[in-house]
């Protein structure tokens, strides 16, 4: 994609501090890290949504992301890591190229995901699960 910053990074047109690269994915340090070592793992092929990434590439992204998380934990003395992928602007995706954040975490790093928690009404969870399972089944048949 012509104006995609991540495609330009993957093509070597824009510099990045690379952590890992193979034929399917590229991992590089985020320029605005939550914590030092915060890494982005991208498919080298342009995909705006995680739903269009081929299964082998998506699997590779998460495999490499988890290995980077372990390396960050061990080498930079973090306690844990988050893997985060936002799909769409409403989910917080800023760059329209699918990317997996690997965020190293410390017990007292001061960063908090602001999760809210809702409660299902009686029968609502089962109804939603049935609808999603049906849609998923027909989507996987295609």
Catalytic residues: 99
Check: CB of residue 68 under 8 Å from CB of residue 41.
yes
State the Cα torsion 5-58-54-52 to the nearest 10°.
-60
């Amino acid at each position: 994609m012509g104006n995609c910053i991540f495609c330009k990074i993957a093509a070597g047109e824009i510099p990045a501090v690379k952590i890992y690269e193979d034929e399917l994915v590229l991992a590089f340090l985020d320029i605005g890290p939550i914590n030092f070592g915060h890494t982005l793992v991208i498919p080298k092929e342009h995909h705006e949504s995680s739903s269009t990434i081929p299964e082998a590439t998506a699997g590779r992204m998460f495999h490499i992301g988890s290995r980077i998380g372990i390396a960050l934990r061990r080498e930079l003395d973090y306690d844990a890591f988050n893997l985060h992928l936002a799909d769409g602007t409403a989910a917080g995706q800023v760059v329209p190229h699918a990317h997996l954040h690997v965020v190293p975490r410390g017990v007292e790093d001061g960063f908090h995901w602001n999760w809210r928690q809702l409660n299902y009404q009686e029968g609502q969870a089962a109804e939603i699960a049935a609808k999603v399972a049906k849609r998923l089944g027909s989507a996987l048949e295609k």
